[in-house]
Structure 1
Amino acid sequence: MSKKIDATDVTEEEALNAVFFERADEFIKQANDFCRPPKGEKANPDELRGQVSAAMLFATARFNTWVAANTFKNGEEMRDAKSEVMSYILQQFQMMLEDNFDEYCEQFDNYLRFRKNEDFHTHKHDHDDTDHHHDHSH
């Protein structure tokens, strides 16, 4: 998405789509920056990614709640619409998550080709390992 587009050549929808991905890329870039351990510290990459993922999920939940709140006249009206709003947001998230998950499955070797061996832990999916809570982080 880094190549600049000539605004006269694109429809409004295409322009909005480009802005959508530019914003998403900025959020991902910020998350990636948070995943870098502080200078001189050797951090557990899985643990750090999990923490960043959790913070990002919380921020997304918080921001989406604020966006929704701005569409209501009071807390009571907002409460009445809770299930409708929740369903919509969760449906959107599930769709985006499924699309990205499927894409990563297809492109696994390509997308993870730069992964360092020390970043990959064979015990990641061992559900008996109570010290790691990856289920909700990634």
Structure 2
Amino acid sequence: MTQATDQAFYDRADAHIDLANQQIEKIEDLGKVSASLTFGASRFNAWMSARSFKTSAELAAAREELLKYFCEQYRMMLEDNLDEHIEHFDRFVLGKGD
């Protein structure tokens, strides 16, 4: 956990993951739940970004910068989580101890 990332960050993320896990139990389709979660995150980030501007033109001018930022952030987080799942595959995926 980095200095800028406090426990509340992980608690919020875990709440979203818990909801996704509940949805998986109901529809048993990992891909559909993942797609909905990704869409929700992108929709929220678009809304949050739009609130930072006074006009549509300002938002449009920042579009590429916003896309680059969010794509870089997602890639960094996905890389970290994939590396963690590779390292702890037996425990995370197979349910076996380290």
User: Taking structure 2 as the reference length, what is the TM-score of the superposition?
Assistant: 0.89
CA distance in 2 between partners of 1:100 and 1:76 (Å): 36
Partner deviation per Cα, 1:55-99 (whole Å, 9 max, x = no partner): 001000000000100000011110000000110111000000000
Structure of greater Rg:
1
Gaps of 5+ in 2: none
The correspondence of residues 35-114 of structure 1 with structure 2, limited to 5 A, is 35-37=24-26, 45=28, 48-114=29-95
- 2:25 partner SS: coil
CA distance in 1 between partners of 2:94 and 2:79 (Å): 22
Asked which structure has the greater RCO (Cα within 8 Å, sep 6+), the reply is: 1
Q: Sequence identity of aligned pairs in percent?
A: 37
CA distance in 1 between partners of 2:82 and 2:70 (Å): 18
Gaps of 5+ in 1: 1-12, 38-42, 116-138
CA RMSD of aligned residues (A): 1.7
Structure with bigger helix share is 2
Partner deviation per Cα, 1:5-29 (whole Å, 9 max, x = no partner): xxxxxxxx57x61110000000000
